Structures are given as structure tokens and as C-alpha cells.
Amino acid sequence: MNFVIPDFYPAAAELFVAAMSFAILLIGTFVRDSRNIVYYLTQFTLVGAAAVTIMTMDGQVNFTFSNMYVDDLMGDFLKLMVYFSVAIVLVYSRGYLQDRKIESTEYYMLAIYATLGMMVMISANHFLTIYLGLELLSLSLYAMVALQRDSARATEAAMKYFVLGALASGLLLYGISMIYGATGTLEISGVAQAIYHQAANRTILMFGLVFVVAGLAFKLGVVPFHMWIPDVYHGAPAAVTLFIASAPKLAAFAMSMRLLVNGLFELADQWQSMLMFLAVLSIVLGNLAAIAQSNIKRMLGYSGISHMGFMLLGLMSGVVGGDRHFALNAYSSSMFYIVSYVLMSLASFGVILLLSRAGFEAETLEDFKGLNKRSSWFAGVMAMVMFSMAGIPFFIGFFAKFSVLQAVVAAGYIWIAILAVVMSLIGAFYYLRVVKVMFFDEPVDSTPLVASADMRVLLSMNGVAIAVLGLMPQTLMSLCAYSLLGSL
């Protein structure tokens, strides 16, 4: 048996991040009070990974590691968004972690390993590679949730997340084993070929598909696999909640594209019906449950469930009745939605972290009272985020919802589009309630907001980006479509 040395060039970014993680681990172990060094090295790792990704980007679809890894435009674009998101998360989180004395080498190491897991998920062309990336991400997140060891609430949230995550991983593995039994391969492109040539056992394949979709639904946090979202968002330190609510959503989208579109595309009629059920339930339950929340982290958790439902609407609109004509438009609208949601999520939790810096947790709507009198600018940033999440013109959230609904209508699902619009109108209530509290209520706490210059600048740019991309969304939309065109 001859061992073929793989081409490491397409995976250069992953190798760079892995090498830097070892270097940072050694520095954190042997250098006393290394938190500053580790923070800057972590940011350097993310910038370096972005540079390597850009340098290795050639517009081609390249396979390596015995076809277990694929490097394409969709993967490169999503990885760049992951680096960008994680870098912003670390800037927003640093002051919060320092105030609570939980800033540590371990937090930054877990962030790097979670990033590496996301990168592996995004570029996986094999079911086991996807599972490896997913577990690397998940185990890092479980540990991050439990980072505040003296907090019973954080420990409880971590236990819930771990138990439910293990269950979801089991479902996914069981589905993968069935697909392997039906097709005789675990390579995603090989599975697609086996189904196309009708060389797969259809019955076993259907059972496998159900379990795989259930595992995906848990990772996306959609109904009825959403139970962990509000509890983990509420129980975890706000800095960790910000991490969970942003970059991993990009990796979950990539995982859905790899498994469903690249691997199980011939079964589109079957998995689209499942996604329709998940999307409709998520949009309805997410918006209705969010209305009853007085804790803003739980509210944004339920809001995230409804947003993931919208993202699934794009995925389920790609192929209708065997017609693939609208596939690229539908999938690119879904991708545009997930990128928009991550930008909005970063800004919303960024403001929560900003308000939490005074030694208390800004978790309830009461804590946002009179924010306009404390800081008109950051009240305006939060208002822009809330308007965008509600889908009010002309912010990026409006065009994200509009592009998805356009794909849904083009696919012939008029009733789903109408339902989604009605639920968005209902959902606007709890977003506008935050705006009302900030601008029209008297402040409970009048202390000035204290934050580092880099956080203030980045959070301001984040809010402005939501507005500017809402006025000029075409560039980002075109980038999503172009990256998918080079990958599908």
C-alpha cells in the first residue's frame, strides 16, 4: 500500500491556525501573566489566517487529503467571515472578561480551537471530516459556557448544552452510518454520485436523511431542537453568548450546504419538506416566545430561532418539482441572510457587553432604560440593530428578509411568504419595545459608559455597516452569489 502525500496548500490556513494554537498554548503555559500576549497573538492568528486564505484563493475547486477536504470560493468567503466575526467578538469581550476576572489563556485557546473546528466544517467533503470539525467546535463551546466556574447558572447552562449536544451528535452519527450503509461511501461527492446513479438503498437512505436533518437542526437551533438556545444564551457569560450567537452560525450554514446541497441534492424534494416544517415552526414559535421575554439575552435567543427559520426558507426554495432554475438565487439569499444575521448579532450583544461593563449584567429591558440620555450614539446603534432585525427599511435586515421572501415566492410557496411577513410584523413588537425603553423611559442608572477605544470604534463601525449595507446591499449579495457559483 503506497501512501500518497497530500497537497497541503489548499489547507494552509487550517495548518497555520493549528500551529499558532500550539505556540500560544506553550506561551500561556510558561509565561507568567500572559493574557495580554495571548490576546494579541490570537488576533494575529486570525489576521494571519485571513491573509493565508486570501493568498491561496484561486477560484478553483481543489480537493486534497483523499478528497476529504475541499477548497472552494464558498468556503473561502465563509472562512473570512468567521475570522472577522471571531476577531470582533474578542475585542468586544475583553473588557467584560477582565471586569469579572475570567479573562484567561484558556478562553483564547478555546476561541482558536472553536475557529479551527469551524474552518474544518466549512471545507469538509467527507462525513467524518464534518463530524470532526463539529465536535472540535462543540467541545470548545461547552467549555466556554462553563468558563465562569463560580457561577451556578453558567455551570447549569453548560451541562444542558453538553447533554443535548451529545444527543444531537448521536443523531447525526446514526444518520451518517445509515447513509454509509445505503451508499457504501462517506465522501460527500461519492454519496451524491451513488444517489444520482441509483446505486443506493432508498429506504435506508431516507432514514439516514431524517437523522442528519435532525442533527443539523440542533446545531442551527431551530424548532423542535431549540431547547438549549434560551437557557444557554441566558446562563452563559454574555461574552460567550456573543461567540455562540455569531460565527458558529456561518459554520452551521456551510455544513447544511455541504451535506444537503452537495451530498444529498438528488433527495431535495424530501429534505426540503423537512426544512419547510422546521422553518415555519421556528418563525412562529421564535417570534411568539420572544414577546414574553423580559431578559434581553433570552429575547435575542428566541429571535435567533426565528432568524434561522428565515435562513432555512432560502435553502428549501432552491429546487421545486425537479426544477433547479432558482437554486443559485435561493441559496445565495440564504447565505446573504446568515451573514447579515451575524453582523446584527455582533452589534446587539456588543451593546449588551458595553452596558455590562459597570460591574453588573445588563440582561433585562430595565437595564436599557434611558440609554439615550447616557449615550445617544450607542442608543442609536442599538436602535439601528433592532430596526434591522425587525426588517424595517432601509437596513441590512430588511434586504436579507426581502431576498429570502423573493426566493420563496419564486418557488411558489406564497402562503409561507405571507406567514413569514405576518410573523415579522408580530416580531417587530419586541424589537421596537427595546427602542421605546431606550429613548422614552427614564434611566435607572445614569453612570457614564466606560469602554476601550477599540471597542467603541468597532461597535460604531458595526452599527454603521448595518445601515450602509442596507442602503447598498448589492455588493454583499453579489459576493454571496459569486462564491456559491464557483462552488455548486
Helices H / strands E in the chain, number of each: 20, 2
CA gap 318, 325 in Å, rounded = 8
**Positive or negative CA dihedral for 97, 98, 100, 102?**
positive
Q: Across the strands, what pairs with 124?
A: 69
408-460 per-position pLDDT tens digit: 988 888 999 999 999 999 989 999 999 998 888 887 777 777 777 888 899 89
Q: Which residue has the higher pLDDT, 186 or 59?
A: 186
Residue 358 has pLDDT above 60, yes or no: no
Share of the chain above pLDDT 90, in %: 38
Instruction: State the greatest distance between any 2 C-alpha atoms of the chain, in Å, as a whole number.
Output: 75
pLDDT category, 2, cuts 50, 70, 90?
A: low
Pick the most confident of 51-60, 337-346, 474-483: 337-346
What is the amino acid identity at position 484? L
pLDDT category, 323, cuts 50, 70, 90?
A: low
Is the pTM for the entire model greater than 0.95?
A: no
Q: Across the strands, what pairs with 187?
A: 126
Contact 129, 68 (CB under 8 A): yes
Closest C-alpha among 110, 111, 48 to residue 80: 48
- C-alpha grid cell, residue 361: 449584567
pLDDT reported for residue 58: 82
Residue 389 has pLDDT above 60, yes or no: yes
Q: How many CB atoms lie within 10 A of CB 359?
A: 8
